[in-house]
Each structure stands twice: as structure tokens, then as C-alpha cells.
Structure 1
Amino acid sequence: MNAPAASSHLLPAVAPRPVPQVLLDALSARFGPKQYSVAQAVREQHGRDESSFDVPPPVAVVFAESTEDVADAVRLAAAHAVPVIPFGSGSSLEGHLLAVQGGISLDVSRMNRLLRLDADDLTVTVQPGLTRKQLNEQIKDSGLFFPIDPGADASLGGMVATRASGTNAVRYGTMRENVLALEVVTASGETLRTGTRARKSSAGYDLTRLIVGSEGTLAVVTEVTLRLYPLPEAVSAAVCSFPSIEAAVRTTIQTIQMGVPIARCELIDVNTVRMVNRHSNLTLPESPMLLMEFHGSPTGVAEQAGTVQEIAADHGGKGFEWATTPEERTRLWTARHNAYFAAVQSRPGCRAVATDTCVPISRLADCLLDSVQEADASGIPYFLVGHVGDGNFHFGYLIDPNSAEERATAEALSDALVARALALEGTCTGEHGIGLHKMGFLVDEAGAGGVEMMRTLKRALDPLNILNPGKIFVL
């Protein structure tokens, strides 16, 4: 297999920036031992994510507990032109958290409070360290919920940074549609607000959308105002097995094209089903499957489910298993939510080279089937899951981190997959973000002029290039 010229898995050669002792002394004095650490174990914890990159850890870690803490840390770092890398729950997959130019990790996980719930307006304001599961647990008695579910229990600030989406995106959209307003700290340490709680605005540039998806390179998020949704009157989930991936994908395409308002539609390939069965002691049929969920009134849910069951039957779908109680639905969704960890544990000591793409729904089968054929021919173990209801899917190639040959093969597979998605008018990443892994493909997708416009914005808002430098593109 020939990897495309845009292959971007090699880290750019950028030397770490010096971190003067005077800055470390100033941070230590300002934050004290409970909020500041240079311990090796703490630094290493903040120097890795779920990507396969190995990069030296940050020089120090600051644990922010307030917006004022974030602003002070950024101001001190800016005075010495030292990088600051925001850190939430550490679940990103494309190297977003890595200190590729050295510097300070700014951990906001202690900023995890729900600040304001406006149930009548269907909005909530939270700190960035609160996770999506914590949010839904705290608002469950309000009759509302926050639907964006990327799988991992990610921090909401991190979900803003990567423009996350996940299993419910086919019905409820992504973070782009569900973030109304932000409080952020800029590269100079200034605190400002973007957006309001109003559902729409024509007031000037959309600064909120500029920050959403910027991967920590333009500002540090300190508050997030989100849309909420009423808990549906009825929820029904189902799992259905198919004779082939193509049959499952064709079912998905027809479901979406018929306008069925399905809430979730997730693909799991046979490799992943086997891994999940072993990991979670399940007995799911070991064949490609769709996991689906329907939200609405009891009558509406029954109609949706009936329509999809007819479509699936036309494509050889069988063994429908239905779940209507929360406990039954949780059991069914275990297969999807444990897929990544089940896969990694299936090959002890491995690292996952994970990638995701998204294509127009009509091109999903073309992209997915060719990619599966290439992965099967490579001999590299892999897993495949997908939010296929909106054309988004994920491959994870499980490699021996000490094998240069396996890494090269996995990266070639990833590159070929992304190039194929771009050729089909899709995107190089549906939700993981660019990070370190897909810089070259960003140029292919946005064009040199588009990337230069991004650089211009970055230079204007962060002239010292201290906010998560080396991600998305290199200045």
C-alpha cells in the first residue's frame, strides 16, 4: 500500500522552549503545593493522552480552581513566552495534551462545578472540568439532559475544544450547535465572555464558534453555557446483527434518507464485538451489528422502530434485541462504550493508532468498505466503530509500540483512509480534531490559503504562540 504524500504522523521537529526558574518560582509562590507540582509522576500523567505519541512531559503542572487561577497562570507564563497546555480529563486521541514545545500543563479538572441551571430556558452554565456524566447526574431531577456523548467521560471544556459530538449527534448535533456562550482567558491573561443565553444572535463576529474546536490554541475555556433538552417521554434501544458490514451500512443509509429521526445509530464490526464479549463477559452475536436508539412519544418511538426493523430485514438484519428500561439500555450500550478499552486490552502492551473521518451519508459505504478491505489485508489487528447515522466512523489499529514496521503500516492505513474520505468530499476528522496527527491533511482539506487564514487568527490572538503551540499547524 502506498501512503499518500500528505501523511502527517511524524512529529514536527520543534525544540522545547526554555522555562526559566524565575517562572517556576513565581508559579510555586502563587499556587503553593496543593495547586502546583513538578513531581515526575504528576508531570508524566499530564504528558500523555490516548494517542500513540511519546513526548517528554511538561515541566510543571498547575491545578486551577477558579477563573482567576487560570488568568494568573497564563499571565505569568506569557511574561516569559512559555507554553501553556490546557488539560481536562486526558481522553483526547490526537496528541492534543502533549507538551511538544515544553511548558506548563494547566489542569482545570478541579473547576468542576455546575454554576447555573436555567431549566425554563433549557440552558446550563458549568465550569470546564465538569464531565458530561457528572452534568447529567446533577440535572437528572430537572427533567432535562445534555445529549452530546463522545463515549469517554470527557470534560466539557475538552469537548468544547475538540468540537466533540458522538453517539447522539445524528439527532442532537455536535458541540458546535449546543454551546451558546463561553467565558475564556486569552493569551494575555484577559478574561472575556462570548455569546449569550439567547438562542440566536447577529451581533458581530461569532467568537463562540471561533473558540469551539480551536483545541486550546486560541484561549483557555473557564465557563461553558450549554443547551439542554427535555428527557424524551419514551426511549427504546435495539441491537441488530447483519451478515456483513455492507448490509449494516446500507440499512443506515436508507434509514437516514427516509427521514427517520433516529437518536443513535452505531456500527460495531465483528472484530470489535469479539473484543467486547471477552472484555465484558457478554454473549453478543459475533457479526457486524447496529446499536440504535429511538427517542420521542411512545407512539412515535414505536413507529420509528418499526420502520427501521423493516429496513433492516430487507438487508438481512436479524436477532433484534429490544431494551426499554434504563438498565437494559445500559447493558446494550456497554458494547459501544467499552469498545476502545476492550480493543486495547485485547492485545496486551499495544498502542492504538486511532483515526476518524466523516463523509456524506451517501458515500459512507464507498469509504467504509474499501477501508475495511485494506485493514483486513494488512494483518494489523484493528477495531471499527462508527456514529454511522451521520457518516462518521473510527478505526483503531492495534500496534506493538516497539515495532517500526507495524507503526508504519498502521499510519499508512490511516493516511489512506483519510485521503479516501477527502476524495469523497468528506473531512479528515469528524470529531477527534487535528492535534498532532492530521496537520498535513488539514492542508489538503482547507487548502494552503485556509490554513494560512487560521495562522493569521492565531498570530493575532496569541502573538507569543503560548497556547497549546504545535497543534493544528506549526507557526
Structure 2
Amino acid sequence: MALRDVAAAERNDEGISAVLGILRQRFGERFQTGASIREQHGHTTTYIPNQMPDGVVFPENVEEVQEIVRACAAHRVPIIPFGTGTSLEGQVNAPGGGISLDMSRMNRILAVNAEDLDCVVEPGVTREELNTHLRDTGLFFPIDPGANASLGGMASTRASGTNAVRYGTMRENVLALTAVTADGRAITTASRARKSSAGYDLTRLLVGSEGTLGIITSLTLKLYGIPQAISGGVCPFPSVEAACNAVIMTIQMGIPIARIELANGLQMRAINQYSHLDYPESPCLFVEFHGSEAGVAEQAETFGEIATEYGGGPFLWTGVAEERAKLWKARHDAYWASLTLRPGAKGLSTDVCVPISRLAECIAETEADIARTGLIAPIVGHVGDGNFHTLVLMDTNEPKEIEQAEEFVGRLNMRAIAMGGTCTGEHGVGQGKKGFLRHELGEAVDVMRSIKTALDPLDILNPGKVLPG
């Protein structure tokens, strides 16, 4: 089973040449073919090899997206939507060449409906830009994958992150979309109503489709009130198993926790040396509570009691914003911190998700696997919903190390699937996990292929992604 299904696809050189000419004449400086910008738009924040598009175009409105898609459809040329390039599984690569559709200039916040707790944005708006704009309204958008990703890209990969245990993922927080289909039509998938029984749920179909079924041109998103009070802290545990059991108890008791993140002992050592902190270098839970002053204090105290029951503590928590910001910056910098464990190495970042009752078992088996193979691979996780990440550090100039890392990730994916979980909780499939989709979903993959064929019969929308060959 290949971990990286990144073989170059057959190119349509004649069609590509025709489209390059059309776009150059139509978009002028907003169409670029320089090697550096093409390489940037084939970039992924992992080790999967770069496969550059033939050109990069910067549309500014829906009509221009339609125009580009129609030109590509007429000449059977691939189109690869691009947000900020933070995807981890090769989603923006161009295995058959084609056109990268950079959505960064479609970055307007079209409406904020404070009374209805929703907003309408273009796909190039980033989550930080949206929350900066919302600051004076008393509202915020909670989905936080760590990177300052574009909201269109976050919807395309069904992103989640540290707040998902309380607020859900992009799937739960996108009310409606507008999108351009493979034949250049502009469609609206739903209204702003909070629920509907009208027709097929096209919104959920496009959320998570990784640009293979349509190109998102606007999103209607749920918003939330900024909590009156927030408290958070770090709690050490004697083992990963003890930390996971504390998570399970916290969830089962119905404590409305906003964030609950695990870092194993190796990850804590990396965090300390990178962020100049002195946390215990044992498995730790980073936690946060949202609510009223009295509510967050009560939740923190109850969590502390649970931690003690499983041998954890002391749980030191704070409501001081600056202290919490330092805590979560250290957590969000975990990727960069991990790289200090082996200077010069590159990281293969992967994630799986299992039912929380199997979380301790899955992480324990994964740590044992890492130890047996001699890998350096710290673990962090959004453990409130059973999702965890492993960053395998390796020398990408050593084929044997790449093979060893790929075999480990393959075992991890299959372990999660065998436990009733998934090969990816939030990174998406892209190119990197195509080989595991049928193991997880079986004949449902054939249904997905039928949908792809119906909506994109020429296979021009981000081809070579998600569905195995």
C-alpha cells in the first residue's frame, strides 16, 4: 500500500498551452507563470514532493472564477483551488499540471448578521482576519486549526482544531455555500436558515470535498458570542493512559470544556526548549473553559478533581488573558518546537481519530510502535474528540528513513481504522491518504466516484486527490 500516491498524471499539453494563452491575454499581471510562484502554489507543509501547476491566476469575483473554469473545461485542463497553502496531504499539488486558482483576492467580508449570529465571507478571508473584523461586535468564529488558513480552504478540508470539542468542525459551522461547478455554473447550496429539509444537503457534500466537486466562492458561517470569562491551564499526568482516561471522564460527565489538548512527554520536552518554559516533561493536558466567571471556576475545579483521581496534577489554571495566551502559543508552536528535536530534519505530520473509548489504547500502541522502530515522533492531540497527531522527523535525503516513516504512518492509519476510527480526523485525504480510503469506507468509495463523475465528468477539478486510482 503506497502512502504517497503522487505519481505524475498524463498531461494535456495542447490544452494547457491554449489556456495559458487565454488567461495571459485576459488577466495580464493577475496571471503568473514564473517558476518561483508556481513552486509556491505546489507547496504543501509536509514532505510530499512538489508538483507545480503551469500557471497561477488571481480571480477577484465569482464571474472571473466562472470564466476561468469555462476556459479550462473547454480545453480539459486541471484547476487546483489554492487558499494559503497550509494543507498537509498534497491537496494543492498539480500532478497533471494545469492552473492554480489563487483565491486570496476574493477576501471580502460581505455581511455580518449579528442578530442572527452568522456572517457571509469570500473564500480568501482568513480566520484571523474574520475574528479581527468581528472584535467590536462581541462575536467570534471559533474554528482554529492552528495555521491562519483561509476559510475557503478550511471548508474544503473540513478543518477543525483546538476548539472542536465544544464548537464542532467546519462541517457543523458552515450554513451555506456558493460555488462554481465544473461546467462554470454558479450555485447556492442553502439559505441562512439554521435548519432546512429542502432537497439534498449540497453544503455538506462540498464541505470536505477538497476542491474536487466545486470551487467555493462564498461561505455563510455560524458565529458565537465571545465568552464572558475564560480560564485555562496545564495539567501533568504520570502516563498517556492516565491523561486519556481523565479526558474520557471529563467528556462523559458533561463538563462543557472548550479545549482539551494532549502533549506526550517528548512533545512537552520540545515545547519547553522551544518556548523557554518549564512545564513537567511528562504527558500533559492543555485545557480551557468558556462561560461565566462562576461557571469556568467550577468547571476548572471539577476537572482538577478528575485529574487527581487519575494521578494527575497539580492542575494550575488561570483566568489572566496574557497567561492563557502564552499557554496556547506554546501549544500552537508545537510543530516548530518538534523540529528542534532533530535539527535539519523534516517532519511528516499525520493524524488519525478514534472513538474516545479507544484513545488511550491507540496512543499507547502508537508510542510502542515509535519506540520499536527508533523514530523521533512526538504526539499531540485534540483528544476531546479522539483526534491526535504524530510528527515523524526524518532525513528526506535518506530513502530508508522515508520508507520507515511511511510504513509507520501506514500502520497508524490501519490501527485507527481497526479501532472504529478514521485515517484522518482533520488533515484530509489529498494525495497522502488515498490508499487508505477504501480500507476505511469500502464500497462507499465507488459511490463517491459516481458523484465525482456526475459533477465533474471531465475530471478537471483538483484531479488525483481524495479518490484512489
Query: Please, what TM-score do these two structures have when normalized by structure 1?
Result: 0.96
CA deviation vs aligned residue, 1:289-315 (integer Å, no higher than 9, x gap): 100000111222122111110010112
Correspondence list, 1:233-244, <5 A: 233-244=228-239
Which amino acid in structure 2 is aligned with residue 221 of structure 1?
I
Matched, 1:69 2:70: no
Residue of structure 1 equivalent to 2:354 = 359
- Which letter maps to 2:254? G
Alpha-carbon distance in structure 2 between the residues aligned to 1:301 and 1:108:
39
Q: Structure 2 matches for 1:440-459, cutoff 5 A?
A: 440-447=435-442, 449-459=443-453
For 1:375 and 1:15, locate their aligned partners in 2 and report how far apart those are by CA, in whole Å: 37
Q: Does 1:465 align with 2:467?
A: no
Per-residue CA deviation, residues 110-169 of structure 1 (Å, 9 max, x unaligned), is 211111000000001111111111111110111111111111111100110011111111
Q: Which residue of 1 aligns with 2:414?
A: 419
Equivalent residues of 1:250, 1:365 under 8 A apart: yes
Quote the residue 2:108 is aligned against. Answer: 113
Partners of 2:437 and 2:468 within 8 A in 1:
no
Matching of residues 249-398 of structure 1 within 5 Å: 249-398=244-393
- Tell me the distance in 1 between the aligned counterparts of 2:137 and 2:173: 18
The secondary structure found in structure 2 opposite 1:20 is helix
- Whether 1:85 and 2:80 are equivalent positions in the alignment is yes
The one-letter code sitting in structure 2 at the alignment partner of 1:25 is G
- Residues of 2 paired with 1:344 and 1:176: CA distance? 31
Q: CA deviation at 1:10?
A: 4.0
Q: Does 1:400 align with 2:395?
A: yes
CA deviation profile, 1:324-347 (whole Å, cap 9, x unmatched)? 132211101112100112223543
Q: Which residue of 2 aligns with 1:24?
A: 20
> In structure 1, how many angstroms separate the alpha carbons of the residues matched to 2:424 and 2:18?
40
C-alpha deviation, 1:12, in angstroms:
4.2
Partner SS state of residue 184, structure 1: strand
Calculate percent identity across the aligned residue pairs.
54
1:220 equivalent in alignment to 2:215: yes
- Name the amino acid aligned to 2:228: E
Q: The residue matched to 2:254 in structure 1 has which SS?
A: coil
> 1:3 maps to what in 2?
none
Contact 1:114 1:135 in 2 (8 A): yes
Residue-pair matches, total: 468
Q: Is the 8 A contact 1:380 1:406 kept in 2?
A: no
Q: What's the counterpart of residue 139 of structure 1?
A: 134
Q: Secondary structure at the match of 1:313?
A: helix
Quick one: distance in 1 between partners of 2:208 and 2:5?
22
Pair 1:175-2:170 in alignment: yes
Provide the C-alpha distance between the structure 2 equivalents of 1:21 and 1:458, rounded to a whole number of angstroms.
26
- SS of the equivalent of 1:318 reads coil
1:434, CA displacement in angstroms?
A: 0.7
> Contact conserved, 1:392 with 1:430, CA < 8 A, in 2?
yes
* Counterpart-to-counterpart distance in 2, 1:465 and 1:474: 14
Greater Cα offset, 239-248 or 274-283: 274-283
Q: Distance in 2 between matches of 1:31 and 1:356?
A: 39
**Would you say the 8 A contact 1:16–1:102 is kept in 2?**
yes
- In structure 1, what is the Cα distance between the partners aligned to 2:241 and 2:49? 36
SS class of match (2:378): strand
* Distance in 2 separating the partners of 1:140 and 1:313: 37
Structure 1 SS opposite 2:189: strand
Relative to structure 1, is the Cα distance of residues 341 and 65 closer, same or farther in structure 2, using a 3 angstrom cutoff?
farther
- The CA RMSD measured in Å over matched residues stands at 1.3
**Residues 51, 353 of structure 1: 8 Å contact kept:** yes
Gaps in structure 1 of 5+ consecutive residues:
1-5
Secondary structure, aligned partner of 1:120: helix
Secondary structure of the residue aligned to 1:225 is: strand
8 A Cα contact 2:8 2:95, kept in partner: no
Kindly indicate whether the alpha-carbon contact (under 8 Å) linking 1:236 and 1:322 is maintained by their aligned counterparts in 2.
yes
- Whether the 8 Å contact between 1:51 and 1:94 is mirrored in structure 2 is yes
SS where residue 147 of structure 2 aligns? coil
State how far apart, in whole Å, the 1-side matches of 2:341 and 2:148 are: 21
**Partners of 2:371 and 2:398 in 1: CA distance:** 19
**How far apart, CA to CA, are the structure 1 residues paired with 2:314 and 2:12?**
58
Separation in 2 of the partners of 1:308 and 1:20? 58
For 2:321 and 2:132, locate their aligned partners in 1 and report how far apart those are by CA, in whole Å: 14
Distance 1:113 1:277 in 2: 39
- Whether the aligned pair in 2 keeps the contact of 1:273 and 1:335 (CA below 8 Å) is no
**Offset of 1:438 from its aligned partner?**
1.1
Does the residue aligned with 1:140 lie in a helix, a strand or coil? Answer: helix
Query: Contact 1:86–1:108 at 8 Å: present in 2 too?
Result: yes
Would the aligned equivalents of 2:145 and 2:159 in 1 still touch at CA under 8 Å? yes
Deviations 1:18-72 (A, max 9, x none): 2432211110111111x11001110111111112111331111011222222111
> What is the CA–CA distance in structure 1 between the aligned matches of 2:214 and 2:319, rounded to whole Å?
42
C-alpha deviation, 1:320, in angstroms: 2.3
Other structure's SS at 1:319 match? coil
- Could you list the per-position Cα deviations for residues 320-371 of structure 1 after superposition, in whole angstroms to 9, with x for gaps in the alignment? 2322132211101112100112223543332222211111111111111100
Alpha carbons 1:356, 1:432 under 8 Å: kept: yes
Deviation string for 1:367-416 (max 9, x for gaps)? Answer: 11100111122112112110001100011101111111111111111111
Match of residue 40, structure 2, among 41, 45, 50: 45
CA contact (8 A) 2:435 2:468 kept: no
C-alpha contact (below 8 Å) 2:356/2:384 kept by paired residues: yes
By how many angstroms is 1:277 displaced?
2.2
Distance 2:144 2:323 in 1: 18
Letter in 1 for 2:293: P
d(CA) in 2 for partners of 1:63, 1:148: 26
